[in-house]
Structure 1
Amino acid sequence: MSEKRWVTFDCFGTLVDWRHGIATGIELVAPGKGRELLDVYNRHEPQVQSEHPGMRYSDVLVETLKRAAAEAKLDLVEDQFQVLRAAIPFWPVFPDTQQALRELQEAGWNLALLTNCDRVVIGETQRRLQIQFDAIVTAEDSGAYKPAHNHFEYFEKSLGVTRDRWVHVAQSYFHDMVPAGRLGIARVWINRLDEKDDPSIAHAVRRDLTDLAATVNEVHEKFNG
């Protein structure tokens, strides 16, 4: 078993501004509709992922936008549905991300991504993050999309990680906090959207990544106390 200490992250929504990326991408093909269609898109994506666990994330983006556009009665031509796939490498990193990751590295933590995307997408996104991760698990690797447990189990088994040396950090309550809670993994909820879900599911709740290293250390000590 590994003696390393690990912090795992969801990528989009936690480190990268997923909502901005989706909304501005939609604006390129449907001006004035980005924010309106964002919530519609957000409702459809988990369904597409559940129906097609082996589908690459770049194709999930296309299929989900098609469903969202159909619900909104938005008339787009075929190549316009590629807009999110084309733009995802340029989605902005949250301004607190890089410092938080560097501070964790300086504190001796190994960093990993457990992300609902494919290898090509995360490879392109890493250039924006400008941080070297010690491990990455994509939906393409695990064979399913969160909230299925595959990412967590794949990471644990492939790297020999024990849960007393692991803290998971994520924004999504549905995709990350719920499955990590069911698996008994220490967890920090980054509630960027001020959502009203039950905060007791997490060992700590923060508005953003400010002072994350201190929070992770506190959670780790409490979890193992």
Structure 2
Amino acid sequence: MINLNQYEVLTFDCYGTLIDWEKGVLEALQPVLQSHHIQLSENEILEWFARFESSLEQGEYRNYKDVLKGVVQKFGEQFGFTPSSGELNALADSVKDWQPFADTVEALKTLKRRLKLAIISNVDDDLFAFSAKHLQVKFDEVVTAQQVKSYKPSVQNFHVAIARLAEIGIPSEKILHVACSVYHDIVPANSLGLSTVWVNRRLGQEGSGAALPAQGKPDLEVPDLKSLAAKINF
């Protein structure tokens, strides 16, 4: 059994773990698809999003706003329509309004009382700045894809986070990575020997959602952050 009280810092994936990105993605994409008479279920939209996003994040780095524009473009190519300029930007423009899960802010404030908190996120710096306001806590370190010029599941993003935390005296064995995506986070973090918590936000739901399916072995599984915070001694 993992001893949660041995860690000094929690590193978080942001979108899907802290911020309800699936709701944000759906609210941005559904009107676009409906305007072109494309009928897809919520699970279908999310799973197409996962395929398109992951393909666009491979190869030469592009910023996340351009990745999201590319996702809309790929929906058009896949389903036979040409998005307008407004529709192309709908997904990227929506990120600033994506909201935390109901348990996120209180759990972060609780965890901050004893632990340092950090972010490792596939996002642009300016987009995360909007999300940080919603999250209402000060993070001790923030590592974005824009800073690293790569996207998880690349281990480079984790190497940068580990190096920055080492600079403030935190060794890798004192880092606990917390994430909802096995594909983006649990697998690469485990490959570097980091301890991991899988926040299974899709517990009881069908399909793999907005992240590609993957197999990994987290040290702990919880349904939400409130459950994680309850397991740590303060």
TM-score interval (norm. to shorter) = 0.7 to 0.9
Q: Percent identity?
A: 30
Task: Give the Cα–Cα distance (whole angstroms) in 2 for the partners of residues 174 and 43 of structure 1.
Answer: 12
What's the counterpart of residue 77 of structure 1? 84
Match for 1:92 among 74, 86, 99? 99
What's the counterpart of residue 159 of structure 2? 153
Q: Which runs of 4+ in 1 moved over 3 A?
A: 195-199, 214-217
TM-score scaled by structure 1?
0.87
Amino acid at match of 2:142: I
Please tell me whether residue 119 in structure 1 is matched to residue 116 in structure 2. Answer: no
Task: Give the Cα–Cα distance (whole angstroms) in 2 for the partners of residues 45 and 85 of structure 1.
Answer: 12
Instruction: Give the superposition deviation at 1:25.
Output: 0.2
RMSD: 1.9
Instruction: Give the superposition deviation at 1:100.
Output: 1.1
Task: Give the secondary-structure state (helix, strand or coil) at the position aligned to 2:225.
Answer: coil
What's the counterpart of residue 192 of structure 2? 183
- Mean Cα displacement is larger for which, 186-195 or 174-183? 186-195
Task: Give the Cα–Cα distance (whole angstroms) in 2 for the partners of residues 58 and 10 of structure 1.
Answer: 18
Rate the CA distance shift 1:64–1:216 in 2: closer, same or farther, 3 A. Answer: farther
- Mean Cα displacement is larger for which, 96-105 or 30-39? 30-39
Please tell me whether residue 60 in structure 1 is matched to residue 67 in structure 2. Answer: yes
Counting only pairs closer than 5 Å after superposition, residues 185-224 of structure 1 correspond to structure 2 as 185-194=194-203, 198=215, 201-215=217-231
Task: Give the secondary-structure state (helix, strand or coil) at the position aligned to 1:168.
Answer: strand
Amino acid at match of 2:21: W
Rate the CA distance shift 1:88–1:163 in 2: closer, same or farther, 3 A. Answer: same
Q: Which has the higher helix share?
A: 1
Unmatched runs of 5 consecutive residues or more in structure 2: 1-6
Rate the CA distance shift 1:133–1:12 in 2: closer, same or farther, 3 A. Answer: same
Instruction: Give the superposition deviation at 1:197.
Output: 5.8
Rate the CA distance shift 1:154–1:216 in 2: closer, same or farther, 3 A. Answer: farther
What's the counterpart of residue 45 of structure 1? 53
User: How many residue pairs were aligned?
Assistant: 211
Instruction: Give the superposition deviation at 1:180.
Output: 0.7
Unmatched runs of 5 consecutive residues or more in structure 1: 218-225
Amino acid at match of 1:19: E
Give CA deviations for 1:127-173 in whole Å, capped at 9, x if unaligned: 11111111100001112100001111101112313122110000000
Give CA deviations for 1:44-96 in whole Å, capped at 9, x if unaligned: 101100123x2111111001221122112233223311001111111121001
- Mean Cα displacement is larger for which, 181-190 or 36-45? 36-45
Amino acid at match of 1:103: T
Asked whether the 8 Å contact 1:49–1:60 carries over to 2, the reply is yes
Match for 1:21 among 11, 21, 24? 24
Asked whether the 8 Å contact 1:6–1:110 carries over to 2, the reply is yes
- Mean Cα displacement is larger for which, 127-136 or 33-42? 33-42
Asked whether the 8 Å contact 2:69–2:88 carries over to 1, the reply is yes
Asked whether the 8 Å contact 2:72–2:87 carries over to 1, the reply is no
Instruction: Give the superposition deviation at 1:33.
Output: 4.9
Amino acid at match of 2:56: V
Task: Give the Cα–Cα distance (whole angstroms) in 2 for the partners of residues 140 and 34 of structure 1.
Answer: 32
Instruction: Give the superposition deviation at 1:34.
Output: 7.1
What's the counterpart of residue 172 of structure 2? 163
Asked whether the 8 Å contact 1:24–1:34 carries over to 2, the reply is no
Asked whether the 8 Å contact 1:181–1:202 carries over to 2, the reply is yes
